[in-house]
Amino acid sequence: MVDLHSHTTASDGTYEPHQSIRRAKEKGLRALAITDHDTVAGIKEALEASERYGVEVVPGIEISTVDQGQDIHVLGYYINYQDPLFLSRLESLRNVRDKRNEMIIENLQHLGIDITLEEVSSRRKMDEGNIGRPHIAEVLMGKGIVSSMEEAFREYLGKTGKAYANPPRITPEDAVDWIKEAGGVPVLAHPGLYGDDNLVHRLIGYGIEGIEAYHTDHSPEQESRYSLWAKQHGLIETAGSDFHGERNGVIFHGDLGTRRTSYETVEKLKSKAEKRAEG
């Protein structure tokens, strides 16, 4: 079995890439995708650990986009993670992410919460890693403002939270194009979190090549619906835990293998990427 959605200290996970691979081995997984937010900085270490633990690494990315003011994430698998153009594009996304962090922190300060960018930056686990909302949530938990990651997002950091901010970013269609141009396979991440099935159909029409039908935060009804749509449109249906490690002893979103699929899905993704490379 394989888990096709996980995050490391290269973005907002708490496990270093080699630790994620070791945990995947402990969970009995044959393969694990490393899909950090807007960065491929964790892939090299994960590939090195792959040889040590005998768990295949699927090199990936989760690109942050915005559609009608809402965060939309697009996963990319078997991208050329050393492609200079792709790396330059990811750097531009990280610059927007930094701006967003500043905006959220300013909003929290206006709410009377004593928090600084320096405090949040100190939570980064890897020098070249990204800073994201989970790092802000860590500081809020440390100060006793909230008691959990879920509360931090519900009250302050999520799309209905009091400190939420979302500067302009690329569109989901842009992310689909970027992933394909980097030789990868674009898959819509956790569509059930958006509450916008028109968006799902729009991206199917645009040329997305897979749907993350099975996700830790999907309901059984959502999983059935997205699995059906994937089959109807000839798309690859994937599954992922969206593992971010542990904070305050709680795993977020789910542990590795919480949502998983067969190795056949990896073979489908590989085949699609190989055909793209052949032109």
Contact 241, 24 (CB under 8 A): no
End-to-end alpha-carbon separation of the chain, Å? 30
Buried b (16+ CB within 10 A) or exposed e, 243-253: bbbebeeebbb
Q: Domain range for residue 86?
A: 2-277
CA 182-188-191 angle, to 5 degrees, is 165
- What's 208's DSSP letter? -
**Total structural domains within the chain:** 1
Residues 214/242, Cβ–Cβ less than 8 Å:
no
What CATH number does residue 206 fall under? Answer: 3.20.20.140
CA angle 59, 196, 254 (to 5 degrees): 45
Which is nearest to 251 in space by CA: 216, 223, 212, 220? 216
Neighbours of 193 (CB within 10 A): 19
Query: Does residue 156 surpass a pLDDT of 80?
Result: yes
Return the number of other C-beta atoms located less than 10 Å from residue 220's C-beta: 8
Q: Is the pLDDT of residue 178 over 90?
A: yes
> From CA 87, how far away is CA 235, in angstroms rounded?
27
The total number of residues shown for the chain amounts to 279
Stretch 30-54: mean pLDDT: 97
Confidence (pTM): 0.89
- Quick one: pLDDT band at residue 175, thresholds 50, 70, 90? very high
What is the per-residue pLDDT for 250?
85
What type of residue is 106? E
210 DSSP β-pair partners: 187, 236
Compute the average pLDDT of residues 215-226: 97
Separation CA 39–CA 111 (nearest Å): 31
Q: What per-residue confidence (pLDDT) applies to 249? A: 83
